[in-house]
Amino acid sequence: MPCTGLVVDIQSPRLAQVADPTSVIVCFPAPALPSRVCGLLLQAVDASTCCTSNTLVL
């Protein structure tokens, strides 16, 4: 299992999505998000390097 023991900034993290590392991912901000996502925390982990992104609060 890659990144065993990695600590992230989210208290109870769960896997949301796994992306193909060979694909290019372009994100565009949504003009409006549903209210149910307000306050959610997001953090990405690069499984090949075990590096984490900054935490994003929606």
User: pLDDT tens, 2-23?
Assistant: 788 999 999 988 888 887 777 7
Domain assignment of residue 24, yes or no = no
**CB contact at 8 A, 56 and 43:** yes
What pTM does this model have?
0.68
Give the range of the structural domain holding residue 37, as residue numbers without chain letter.
31-58
On whether the CB atoms of residues 44 and 51 are closer than 8 A, the answer is no
Q: Is residue 4 part of a domain?
A: no
The CA distances from residue 33 to 3, 24, 41, 44, 58, in Å, are 31, 23, 14, 19, 9
Q: Per the domain annotation, does 37 fall within a domain?
A: yes
Q: What is the pLDDT of residue 18?
A: 81
Alpha-carbon distance of 34 to 36, in angstroms, equals 5
CB 40 within 8 A of CB 56: no
Residue-level pLDDT at 54? 94
* Partners of 41 in beta bridges: 57
| Position 39 pLDDT exceeds 70 | yes
Does any domain span residue 15?
A: no
